[in-house]
Amino acid sequence: MNHQQILLFIILAYFLLLLGVAFYTSRGSNNESFFVGNRSSKWWLVAFGMIGTSLSGMTFISVPGTVGAGAFGYFQVVIGYWIGYFIVAYVLLPVYYKMKLTSIYTYLERRLGVNAHKTGALFFILSRTLGATLRLYLVIKVLETFVLRDLGISFELTAVVILGLILLYTYRGGVKTIVWTDTLQTTFMLLALIVSLVYLAGQLNFGLGEAWAAIREKGMTKIFATDPLPGNYFLKQILGGAFITIAMTGLDQEMMQKNISVSNLKDSQKNMVVMGTLQMIVVFIFLFLGGVLTMYAQANALTVKGDDLFPAVAILSNGIPFAITVCFMIGLISALFPSADGALTALTSSFCIDMLGIQKKTDWDEKKKTRVRLIVHNIFAFVFLLCIFFFREVDNGSLIDILLKLAGFTYGPLLGLFAFGILTRRSVAPGAPLVICIAALVLTLGLDMINNYQWYVPKMNLSPASAASLKGLSESIFGQYKIGVELLIINAAITYVLLFACSKKGTTTLATVSA
């Protein structure tokens, strides 16, 4: 049995372990278990498991690959994430618990009407589908490139099998199961991180302290960028990171579904703060690993960089023991599933509750509700598959940049909607929210295309003359200023302003909740 066959066997064994956990935890499950885990999850268990959900395979592969070119600059965004978790814990969670929500977008219906509710859910479904499948694509790509291709197993077959396995272990238990599987997977991911860091530092004849000193000497530990014009300016990154957390965690049904499965508000707030702090520490270790990986690649004349750096060193580099390759592979697939399984469950929940109104169907018995839920679950799995194939066509080698840009476009309207509902006591016309959110997205896309024309020109195959015109327009409007992760804030602000412009004093719904 060769190494690829052994890795395939380990991957299958890991799946069987997940299926065993799913079978055990889903005993006696019903729709309430699937949607909110019967509101009985332990806060510390949710906090630990959510580390894997918030980091995912994108962090496992892409973040170490950023250090060679950008040092520890990504940590600026992470500082913003940490600030954002406190805002989620002490501003948004009290609203959700006070209203005893199953879907957080129900708040929008009670505050701004049915159209706002459907719009919020629609943008979440769009955002989470694109974000989750982008992360899923990245890990499947690595598995196919470094393990399965040599066994004659295609990318397409790999994607189908992995989605099928995710379906199997989320089918019945939903959140009740995912709280436990995420904890298991986070454990394996962190073990892989620590083992890889210690081993690679040892290969360079460094202890961890010496490795830190070496990457610091090479300038790779620099965090803060002080030039205000580029997109990596530290205030832009920190502020953008905070709002990304507010939007991608606090206004995201997947993340909040796990939080509101905790029995009470106080414990849910503990979960959020502890998880945010642990995430900050873990990402810092990933960046440390990225510095060590960069030095190892330089010492061994490896030319790989970006998303390919970690897998190439762990799997293809001469002299790396097979045990380290196994450790990397387990860490990789452990990073894969917390984001994919939770997203699939949350999207099913949101569509059933927000779009179909399954909880309001008093003429549906439990059996019919379950049948509809399972149909929706299968449909979203198929949509995931289509999106994975799409991202394969547009992959440019650094997917974390695409992820943050997508977040800016799709979560911005959500942030604007919730901000308007919570910060004002005004009402909008019944059909206005959807039109306004779409308009804000289009305006934001236009601004970003003008400002970051270098990013769009190769993707749009523009002629040299068109590219030059776009460059001239960008410089005349923005000068040398470049929009970074604050794209989400701009989008949310446009949404908020348009909502305010189309609003009037007074509310007709539960505005008291926003006090």
Spatial distance between the Cα atoms of 201 and 406, rounded to a whole number of angstroms = 35
Check: CB of residue 110 under 8 Å from CB of residue 509: yes
The residue segments making up the domain with residue 301 are: 3-393
Say if 513 falls within a structural domain: no
Whether residue 195 lies inside any domain: the answer is yes
Among the listed residues 442, 440, 468, the one whose alpha carbon sits nearest the alpha carbon of residue 454: 468
Top pLDDT among 229 and 399 is at 229
Residues 305-309: contacts with CB under 8 Å, at least 24 apart: 305/65, 305/68, 305/69, 306/62, 306/65, 306/66, 306/69, 306/397, 306/398, 307/61, 307/62, 307/65, 307/138, 307/397, 307/398, 307/399, 308/65, 308/397, 309/64, 309/65, 309/68
Q: Average per-residue pLDDT in the chain?
A: 83
* Per-residue pLDDT at 264: 86
User: 424 in the Ramachandran plot: left (φ > 0), alpha (ψ -120 to 50) or beta?
Assistant: beta
The C-alpha atoms of residue 408 and residue 441 are separated, in whole angstroms, by 9
Burial class (CB in 10 A: 0-12, 13-18, 19+), 482: middle
Rounded Cα–Cα distance for residues 253 and 273 (Å): 18
Residue 411 lies in a domain: no
When pLDDT is averaged across residues 202-218 and rounded to a whole number, the result is 93
- Is residue 505 in a domain? no
**Per-residue pLDDT, 336:** 66
What's the whole-number mean pLDDT along residues 82-97?
93
More confident residue, 48 or 346: 346
Local structure of 247: helix, strand or coil: helix
| CATH code, domain carrying 210 | 1.20.1730.10
Residue 491, pLDDT > 90, answer: yes
How many distinct structural domains can be found in the chain? 1
Q: What average pLDDT does range 244-251 have in this prediction?
A: 89
Residue 285 lies in a domain: yes
356-368: average pLDDT:
82
From the list 326, 399, 454, the residue with the least C-alpha distance to 141 is: 399
pLDDT over threshold 90, residue 206: yes
The residue-averaged pLDDT of 465-474 equals: 88
Above 90 in pLDDT, residue 284? Answer: yes
Instruction: Please report the pLDDT score of residue 382 as a whole number.
Output: 92
DSSP string, 124-167: HHHHHHHHHHHHHHHHHHHHIIIIIGGGT--HHHHHHHHHHHHH
Q: What is the largest CA-CA distance in the chain?
A: 72
pLDDT at 49: 67
Burial of 6 (0-12, 13-18, 19+ CB in 10 A): middle
Residue 33: its pLDDT value, please? 46
**DSSP character at residue 360:** G
CA distance linking residue 427 with residue 186, whole number of Å: 43
Which one has a higher pLDDT value, 184 or 129? Answer: 129
Angle, CA 399 vertex, CA 146 and CA 340 arms, to 5° = 75
- pLDDT, average across residues 136-143: 81
Mean pLDDT of 220-243: 90
- Region of 37 (left: φ > 0; alpha: ψ -120 to 50; beta: rest) is left
For residue 465, tell me if it sits in a domain: no
pLDDT digits (tens, 9 = 90+) for 445-469: 999 999 988 877 776 777 888 888 8
- 337 Cβ partners below 8 Å, 6+ apart? 18, 52, 166, 181, 185
Residues 336-360 as b/e (b if ≥16 CB within 10 A, e otherwise) read bbbbbbbbbbbbbbbbbbbbbebbe
Bigger pLDDT: 371 vs 404: 371
Q: Is 221 a residue whose pLDDT tops 90?
A: yes
**Distance between CA atoms of 46 and 178, rounded to whole angstroms?**
9
In a domain, 251, yes or no: yes
Q: What is the rounded (10 degree) CA torsion for 112, 113, 119, 120?
A: 50
Amino acid 91 reads: V
pLDDT (0 to 100) of residue 39: 53
Tell me which residue of 245, 241, 275, 243 sits closest to 258, measured CA to CA.
275
> Can you tell me the mean pLDDT for 343-358?
84
Q: How far apart are CA 447 and CA 490, in angstroms?
A: 10
Is residue 367 helix, strand or coil?
Answer: helix
Q: What is the pLDDT of residue 302?
A: 82
Say if 162 falls within a structural domain.
yes
Give pTM, 2 decimals.
Answer: 0.78
- Output the six-digit token pair for 74: 């990504």
